[in-house]
Structures are given as C-alpha cells and as structure tokens.
A and B are shown apart, each in its own frame.
Chain A
Amino acid sequence: MAVGATGVARFPVRVTDCFLLAHDDFMQRTGQGRHVTQSLLELDRAPAIDKVRAGLLRIVQKHPRLVARLRRNWRRLLPYWEVPEPPARGLPLGLWREAGAPVLDGATEIGNVAEHLERVMSMPLAEGGIEFKARLDVTALADGRAIVSLSWSHLLIDGKGAELLFAELGRLCDGIDLPCDVKESGPAAVTWSEKLKRTKAAVAHLEDLAKVGAPSLSGPRPRASRGHYWNLTLTPEDSARLTKRVEGMAGALFPMAFYVACTARAHDRVFRDRGREPLGYVASVPVQTRKRGARGPLFHNHVSIFFFCARREHLGTIEATTTAMKQQFSDMSRARLDESFLAILDMMMRLPSWLFMRVVRWQFKGEIASFFHSHTGAFAPEMVEFAGGQITNAYHFPCFAVPPGTGLFFCERGGRVNVTLAWREGALSDGERRLMMEQVTEDMFGEPRPELLHGL
C-alpha cells in the first residue's frame, strides 16, 4: 500500500474487483440499487450491545479499508482505492426489535422480520459523509433469539471475506486482536502476449457456451427492481439424509456438482412451466482463489468463475445432471479455466465499467448467466458465539442484478444445510418460486417434500 504526502494511503484494485465494480455500476445505472450482500448469524439471544459497539469501532481502526474510497487514475485508466485516516467512529449499527421481543436499548420496533432484513440490506452504507463498506444490524426476535446481519459492499468484500470479517468482528467484540491478513504475492510480471495466451482456454470455453446461450428467467433486459430472499434451514436429520444422497451421486468430495445440478433443474422446471425448453443453461459459479484455512485476506474479491453448462440432454434426471456437472468440474479444473478466466478479466481491467459490462453481456446476447449459484460449505466454522450470543445458524443473502434475476445458494452451519433462494422483483412469480423450490427439495430427497415449503 502506497502512502501519499497527505497521509492518504492508496492500494490497487484486484483483477476480480473490476468485475464487481462493473456489476455495481450496472446495478446503479439501471435502478437496481447497490451490489450489497447480507451475511446473517442467528443467535440464541441478543448480543451484548456494548461489546458490539466496541468491536465496530475497533474494526474500523484496525482495517481502515472499511472506509476506502474508489478512485480512477485517468492516466493509467486503472481504478484504485484511497484510504483516509480512519474516523473516530465505528461501522454503522442498527438496532431493531420485533414486537414482544426483550428490550434492546435504542431499538426501533419492526413488523415482518423478512421484509425488515431486505429493507436493511438496501440502506445506504455511507453515513455522515463516510463511505463505509459495511454496516451491522441487530434484530431482537419475539422468542428471545436475535439475528445479526452484516451488510457489505461487493466492491471490496466477497462471500468468504464476509465470513472472515464477521469472525474478525466477533474477536474484536471480545477484545481479541489477532493478525488476520495473509501476505499476498504481487502480480507476476507477464507480457501481453503471455496474457493473451492464457486467455485462450476460457475464451474457447465461453465461445462453446455461447452456442447454447445463457437464458435467464428475468430475460436480458435490466430493470429497476428490489431483491427478495427466502431461506430454508434443514433439520440435522434431513441434512444428514441429504449429505448421504449427495455423496451417492457426486462422490463424498465434490458435493458442489450436485448443488449446481439441483439449481439447473430447478430453473429448468420453471422454464418448462413457461412453455420453454432452451438448449441449456449457463451457471456462473464462483471459485475461491484464497488459500483455505487462513484468517484472511478479509478484503478484495478473491474468486474466479467456473461457467458450468447444463445442456438439455443432461437435465432428464438429477443423477444425469450431477454426473455431467462433476465431469465439467474436473475438466475445467484440469484446463485451469479459473486462471484463464482471471487472465481475461486482467485484460479488461482498464475498461470503464459501462464498457466492461457491455463486453461481459455481449457473449450471451445481453445475459450474464442463466442464474447465479454457489455452494460455500461450512459458514465460518471457527465462530461459536458472537458478542455473548451462541450462534445457532448462519447463511448469506446474496445480491445480484437483473439479468439473471435469480439464484440458489447453499451452505452449512452446525450440521444443518441452508438453501437460500434469491430473486429480483419480477423475475419469478409466487407460483414459480414454489415450483422452483418443489423441484429443489424433490431432487434433494428423491421425493416431494411440500411440508418444507411452509411460508414460501
């Protein structure tokens, strides 16, 4: 990180940050809000708010990137982050309580919790002229439990980074200060011809996918819309049953193949209900480029993308779709398509965001992918409690644009599987949401499980 004469530090954006910057810009320009995702912890009781306030102050002091401002160097064309002196205040904190919840000092009473969480997620992160990159909200529930939600900007934080940031905040709430940044090697000096060579595998792959197309349920035209979320948490018994079934189909080590397949078939069910049978679907699946097991890095987007393709001939049964996805996972890994895709993004970094997004959408005739999906495994397994409350569950509410307007996301916490359906207003009707989740649960258990869809 370079420090200028004014004391303002600068640090460069990373390759994948530019994609997220373009996505955020696209959402803003098309009236879809900001690219802000929410990560949620369910606690057995409300956390100690004095500890939380102290943690939110410490985390800004320790990680001033949380107030970084994005700038663009018009000579080199590359965006960069500018980090001012950290302010003498913590990340924004919202306190809320459901009617009948235990008293939480300073909390505002809310109505429907799900609607409240969606509203919180679209609140601006900036406060008092400070461009915070995250905010925390504590919602006390009527039954004595609480939900702590961290809303964070995808410009500087990714899903795994958010889990690591939550863990770091938890430690700082308890006054525990551990190093949590990993020394990252700088970008290797590579010639443009070498970069071009590296892009070839991913370019060829994307050209193949373009022949299939990436139809989304929203259609390619962007439109102003709000994000909505519905989370299903399975019981430990159902989770164990699902895990066994997944292992039978995808093998014990590659559950992601099953979950991509499950997501593709769920979308196909809705397409067929609309009377359409596309050639196939393209799934955009993030793959971590962080070394696993570290407490950091907390910031920047450390992911590449694997583009899976579920063709019509794969979609007949969940078994056939899973087998196809597993083979593609192996093929893409061997061909190092994750690195090749990063090489493409690297070459696009200097493009202004509007042009960057135009290039991204050009390949699929205005679409980005048929849907978004991730299976992120155990959610922050290193965390047991947060500011005095025991963690009973955890999951993400991922945010994305129209198109594609829909996504299915899976993670685990304490032996329980969470399935999160995210959709933008207008992308799915009420009936279609139910149809999609009926297909998901049927594929997960091999039989219809309508009782799991209560409240959808």
Chain B
Amino acid sequence: MATQPIPQQEPLEQQLVHLVSERLLETQPGFGVDSNLYESGLDSMAIMQFLILIEEEYGVVLPEGELTRQNFSTVRSVAGLIRARAADSMKG
C-alpha cells in the first residue's frame, strides 16, 4: 500500500475531485469540493471503492466510527477525515 505525505489544503481536495470524477462517479460539469456526493450517485458499492482507493492512494484507513453519511457528503468532508486520520497516525 502506498503511503504518501498528505498534501496541503487545496491539492488534496482537488486530487479527490479528480479521483471521484475519473474512477467513481460520472460527475456533471461544475462538480467540485462542496458538491453533494449522494446527489452525484454515491452508493454503497461506490463508497467501498472510495475507501479502498483512499487506502491505496494515501495509506489511510478510515475507522468504522467515521463512516457516516455526513462525513461522506462532500469531497471536502472526506478530505478533512483523511487529514485528521493522517495526523493521528503521525502522533501515534
């Protein structure tokens, strides 16, 4: 599993936007960090694929307790989770 340093604010969000658009969802023009992922078609299978992609790309395993609808509602909220988890790992 690749473990990459988590980039600063903008790049991570943008990377996730690209990841979602290219690998998970057929996003509409204007899709961005604050677009609602469920309205864009996110379902159980896509979320599982998203979790696996996050593990593969960033080496971050999101804990069960963080897997809420709210936390997966936008790219921005997912990026926040990844950053928080990566920071926890570095402290640990």
Contacts and interface: CB of A to CB of B under 8 A. Distances in A.
Interface in B41-74: 41-49, 52, 64, 67-69, 72
Given A251-B67, A253-B69, A254-B44, A292 B25 contact: yes
Contacts of B41: 291-294
Contacts of B64: 251
Contacts of B47: 253-254
A253 B72 contact: yes
A291 B50 CA distance: 12
A377 B40 CA distance: 13
B44 A292 contact: no
A254 B49 CA distance: 12
Contact of A333 (B27, B42, B43, B52): B52
A255 B44 contact: yes
16 contacts: A182-B26, A252-B68, A253-B72, A256-B45, A287-B45, A288-B45, A291-B26, A292-B40, A292-B43, A293-B26, A293-B28, A294-B26, A329-B44, A375-B44, A377-B43, A377-B44
B24 interface: yes
Secondary structure type dominating chain A contacts: mixed
Interface of A: 182, 251-256, 287-288, 290-294, 329-330, 333-334, 375, 377
Interface size class of B (residues with CB under 8 A): 20 to 34
Nearest to A333: B48
Contacts of A182: 26
A292 B46 contact: yes
B52 A252 contact: no
Contacts of A334: 52
Nearest to A296: B26
Contacts of A329: 44, 48
Contacts of B67: 251-253
A377 B43 CA distance: 8
B5 to A, nearest CB: 24
Given A252-B68, A253-B67, A253-B69, A292 B49 contact: no
